[in-house]
Amino acid sequence: MLLFLIAGTSLAVLAGIYMVSQIYQMVKLDAFYRGLKHPKLWAFFASTGQRGDGLIVYLLRRKNHPRNSMSDEDFLTFQTCKHRAIVALLFQLTGAILAITALALSYS
């Protein structure tokens, strides 16, 4: 059971790190095409935080800035990052379920 607990926790943590990096890339592209100053800073601010405070502030801030049309390459990059973030979320949930199941079985 300890092996499943370690594997589930590791999977959840690594998938979470990968998801944050994909959110960083998406926000950086979005902020650039919306004309916000310092898109890398906005991306860092939006991708950090435990409760998603930075992402909420970014989403509220970007409301006043319409997005210019993206190039085809950047649009494809944005869509790829979005799909990768969804897959990372699924892996994170799988790891959490595996870890919780291992904990439940070890204490029963």
Tens of each residue's pLDDT in the chain, 108 residues = 889 999 999 999 999 999 999 999 999 999 999 999 999 999 999 988 778 889 999 999 988 899 889 999 999 999 999 999 999 999 999 999 999 999 999 887
The residue extents of the domains of the chain are: 16-91
- The 8-class DSSP code of residue 65 comes to S
CA 5-52-61 angle, 5° bins: 160
